Amino acid sequence: MKRYPRILIVGQYFDLKSGGGITMTNLFKGWDRNAIAVAAEDIQQPDYSVCGKFYRLGAEECRLSFPFNLKSRKSIPASGELNMRSGNQGSSYRISSQSKLQRLYYSFIENTGLIHYRNKLEISDSLLKWIKDFAPEVIYTQLSNYRLINFVSELHDRLGYPVAIHIMDDWPVSISNKGIFKNYWRNKIGSAFRKLVEKSAILLSISDSMSEEYKKRYRRPFTPFHNPIETTEWLKHSRLEWSIGDKVKMLYTGRIGTANNQSIFFISQAIHELNQSGQSITLDIYTPDHEGRQAEELSELKGISIKKTVAHSEMPQLLSGHDILILPLDFDRKGIEFARYSMPTKASEYMISGTPILVFASLETGLAKYAEKDKWACLVSDLNADKLKGAIKELICNEEMRKSLSNKAKVLAVENENAETVRERFRQVFANYRKPN
């Protein structure tokens, strides 16, 4: 029988909306459901199909530092276990648009680094009992901020459970890049992260390029695991012909934010200009940020259509129903630093869809290097409007090119991202780990 170690996941929960949630769901799907527990903040409608045990980190664990603790704590939800049987599905509140004063406030605490000091997570008696009752063998975490580093480190020190770190983006480099105290906070956070890496049992990355860099940087091997896909299910919907009608349908799905918002605007402007010159192109942007200010500005451009994101189960039909898919990353230093070694969660899904892909990203990023090396996408690696518009027009006019790129992408996705194979390798990493005597 296969061995499925008992895993406590800290800081991320199972969902089919966020990149980290999708990746984690696809990696742990098929695991013994009773051998997984999750402790995280802001849990909203968790997916109980993969895991049945959730603890919301709330008022008992979330502590505001002085003088932030003088503000009302009414907005912090109660701590405790979420139970599907009792109908407790977690939070479902909507985040309202920020006022100008609120934006100034958050800009101030980000630029001063106070955002890293403002609050922290503590191990409450309730959480401690809940964890001990579950009796995990390993703590798995997708770290992303200073307080989560400290929280996981404290859990390890107090309880002795080995830690598995899975890194999605190169946030240790980009986490503090604003204000006069940026070097102080970058060094402080970097030191805390390095110490946790040194005492962690299992180290995972999101890509081969990240593993290569992190081995040099932290002098320990990181095993890459990206978002796997159910290839059999996806291939049922995969595109098998590449003709384009009178109106070209392009598509981007996902967030508009860190490391891609500038490129999305650049592409949208290029499509706007192509439409003004006589082309007929629509770029559908399905995003959870459809009500945001950036989405509103994009919708004013000719041919750009902003839509609410669809359920993940609808994604295979959505991707194969368009003519060209867009994978953009920003070209500025901040964006490159954040996404240099990342691999977008949607990349494997785009590749198996059978729809040709346009990658718009710097050659400093792992995504662009992968596209250039294996020729599975049309790559534009310069922030140049003419080159971008030229690539779009070539994709539209050259059916043989679209077919070649799509077939190559599909083959790579089946070879490298097959969920059955990837999940077995992932399980073995944990099953083969033995705590030292």
Stronger pLDDT, 107 or 231, i.e. the higher one: 231
Whether 7-228+419-431 shares its CATH topology with 231-416 is answered yes
- The residue among 383, 390, 402, 374 whose CA lies nearest residue 333 is 383
pLDDT of residue 144: 85
Give percent of the chain above pLDDT 70: 88
Q: What CATH number is given for 7-228+419-431 in this structure?
A: 3.40.50.2000
pLDDT of residue 92: 42
Give pLDDT tens digits for 58-96: 989 988 775 665 565 556 788 888 876 544 555 443 444
Is there a contact between 236 and 268 (Cβ–Cβ < 8 Å)?
Answer: no
Confidence of residue 300 (pLDDT cuts 50, 70, 90): very high
Instruction: Tell the residue number behind the tokens 């598509």, with chain if given.
Output: 251
User: Chain-wide mean pLDDT for the chain?
Assistant: 89
Confidence of residue 336 (pLDDT cuts 50, 70, 90): very high
Whole-prediction pTM: 0.86
| CB-based burial, 252-274: b 16+ in 10 Å, e otherwise | bbbbbeebbbbbbbbbbbbbbbb
Kindly list the strands in the beta sheet with 378-380, ordered across the sheet, starting from the edge strand earlier in the chain: 304-308, 281-287, 248-253, 324-328, 357-360, 378-380
Give pLDDT tens digits for 141-167: 999 899 999 999 999 999 999 999 999
pLDDT of residue 364: 94
Instruction: Give the Cα-Cα-Cα angle 315, 320, 323 (nearest 5 degrees).
Output: 125
Q: Read out DSSP for 349-414?
A: HHHHTTS-EEEE--TTSHHHHHHHHH--SEEE-S--HHHHHHHHHHHHH-HHHHHHHHHHHHHHHH
Say whether pLDDT at 177 is over 80.
Answer: no
Listed by start position, the domains of the chain span 7-228+419-431, 231-416
Does domain 231-416 correspond to CATH entry 1.20.1250.20? Answer: no
CA–CA dist 42, 95 (Å, integer): 11
Confidence of residue 436 (pLDDT cuts 50, 70, 90): low
Give pLDDT tens digits for 86-102: 445 554 434 445 566 66
- The residue among 373, 394, 259 whose CA lies nearest residue 324 is 394
